[in-house]
Structure 1
Amino acid sequence: MMRFIALALSLVLAGAQAAPAGPWLREKGKGFIATSGNITQEKDTSGSAYFEYGLRDNITLGADLFYGIDRTLQQSGSGIVFLRFPISKPDATHKWAWHVGVGARSQNRIFTPAVEAGISWGRGIKVGERYGWAVIDSSLNIPGSDLETRIKLDGTIGLGFGDHFKGMAQVFTTHQGGEVFAKFAPSLLIIPGKGKYTVQIGVEIPVQGGGDTEFKLGLWRDF
């Protein structure tokens, strides 16, 4: 069983776009949205959407949505609306934040309410002359009686390779129903033009708990 969670990543050059999740709060009036779609060779498909908006400099409103359907037409989904608050000081090297949210989860169109809470850590990094960041995100999601409690611990590490390209490596781990599931997810991030959009091209490779490799295409935008 995997006993540690490697660093999941969403990286950025200094002053560049921030990636989903992590302890960095959005400035008041500023927002971010990321959408993605995954597919396996066996035609299992899934989609996700992630949203953040700065209500105040110290409060970020967010939403995290997921829907998947496999080759046997089994369906699953989840949606959480959350608020994120800082723990560390604004000028701290090591950033900490916590979030709390409410929403629902579903299995084959059976919906149950859910609550969620979590803590995130992150910091900027420098490798040679290149800048990026490292992040660890954790969450505890407790649904109604029909589904099982879900614990997630994800890590991200990333590095910029110029104004228009970044590399990102992530590890996603989930503990649910007495089992641990883990995926390794490398991605290339392409920032065309003036940098308002980021295109994500990557794969998610299962390393524990079974499943098939998924091919991912995503789009991020700051606003």
Structure 2
Amino acid sequence: MKGVILHIALLLIATPAWSGAWLREKDSAFVAAAVTAFKDPDGRYDYKSSLYAEWGYRPNLTIGFDFEEHRDVYGHALLFARAPVADFGKWGRFTAEFGAGAHHRHKRAWALYKMTLSYGKGFETSWGNGWIAVDTALEYRTHDAMFRKLDFTAGLSSQRLLNPLLQIETSYTPDKSLFWRARPSVMIRRPNSPTTWVLGLERNDARSDTGIKFAIWNEF
């Protein structure tokens, strides 16, 4: 599996943000590969990797794949479909997403189901155009519990080389405390280029250190 992920990442290097509430145009695609590295208190290095892809299957239907792995200890693989719910023009839009896949811990695996309602809106500032997205999700892992998730993403998409990006993720189950993760990043993209490089930091309440994230996004 490590070899497969590395091969895909190399292909991406040789060839912008997740759509959120936006659908892909028919026959257009987006792929993102990322690696986040941490350093444990005892000095050992830890990492996680992810691969995300989506494709505009029809004008009103986007399908995709979401994969994440934490150092061969636990992770998930999810297939999903996204469809429009409502479009309010300049006031934003809503989409619904349904996904099914598997979650594993070590060598054991269980079914995973996810339903997401997303809101997205573009805006204009003196520093350039931008967007915000809010995703609310119910994620059911058959071996565990129902996870309630609320995520927030905001960024700028001007024609300059560097643009800011902020991602905040939260997750809650009734028998556990609220989990949060924050990722401030910078997007690096030449004007009219289909490829975006992302460099950022990641901090969450389950770790005492800050991770460094590197990602490659590609549109085609």
| Aligned-residue identity in percent | 26
Range moving further from structure 2, 189-198 or 25-34: 189-198
Q: CA deviation at 1:205?
A: 1.5
Alignment check: 8 A CA contact 1:161 1:167 kept: no
Inter-partner Cα distance in structure 1 for 2:197 and 2:136: 25
Q: After TM superposition, give the deviation of residue 192 of structure 1 in Å.
A: 3.3
Match of 1:172 in 2: 169
Residue 52 (structure 1) aligns with:
54
Question: When you count helix as a share of all residues, which structure comes out higher?
Answer: 2
The correspondence for 1:213, drawn from 206, 210, 214, is 210
SS in 1 for 2:94: strand
Scaled by the length of structure 2, the TM-score of the pair is: 0.84
Corresponding position of 1:6: none
User: Using a 3 Å threshold, how does the CA distance of structure 1 residues 160 and 30 change in structure 2: closer, same or farther?
Assistant: closer
Runs of 4+ in 1 over 6 A off after TM superposition: none
Name the SS of the counterpart of 2:215 in structure 1.
Answer: strand
CA distance in 2, matches of 1:211, 1:142: 28
CA distance in 1, matches of 2:159, 2:192: 13
Among 67, 75, 86, which residue is 2:69 paired with? Answer: 67
CA contact (8 A) 1:104 1:114 kept: yes
Q: What are the ranges of 5 or more consecutive residues in structure 1 without an aligned counterpart? A: 1-17
Alpha carbons of structure 1 residues 193 and 23: separation in structure 2 relative to 1, 3 Å: closer
By how many angstroms is 1:79 displaced? 1.1
Q: Is the 8 A contact 1:35 1:48 kept in 2?
A: yes
Stretch of structure 1 that moved more, 27-36 or 211-220: 211-220
Q: Residue 181 of structure 1 contacts residue 210 of structure 1 at CA under 8 Å; is this kept in 2?
A: no
**Following the alignment from structure 1 to structure 2, what is the Cα–Cα distance between the partners of residues 38 and 129?**
29
Q: Quick one: which amino acid aligns to residue 170 of structure 2?
A: T
Q: Tell me the distance in 2 between the aligned counterparts of 1:68 and 1:113.
A: 18
Indicate the structure whose relative CO is greater, using CA pairs within 8 Å and at least 6 residues apart: 1
**Corresponding residue for residue 39 of structure 1:** 37
Among 152, 156, 159, the alignment partner of 2:149 is 152
**Which position in structure 2 is the counterpart of 1:116?**
114
Q: Which residue of 2 aligns with 1:25?
A: 23
Deviations 1:39-68 (A, max 9, x none): 112211100111110111100001111000
C-alpha displacement at 1:172, in angstroms?
1.2
Q: Tell me if the contact between 1:174 and 1:180 (Cα under 8 Å) persists in the aligned partners.
A: yes
TM-score by length of 1: 0.83
Please list, as runs of the form range in 1=range in 2, the aligned pairs for 1:185-196 lying within 5 A after superposition: 185-192=183-190, 194-196=192-194
Q: CA RMSD in A?
A: 1.8
SS at structure 2 position matched to 1:167? strand
Name the structure 2 match of 1:83. 81
* Residue 137 of structure 1: how far off its partner (Å): 1.3
**Matched AA of 2:168:** V
Q: Matched residue pairs, number?
A: 200
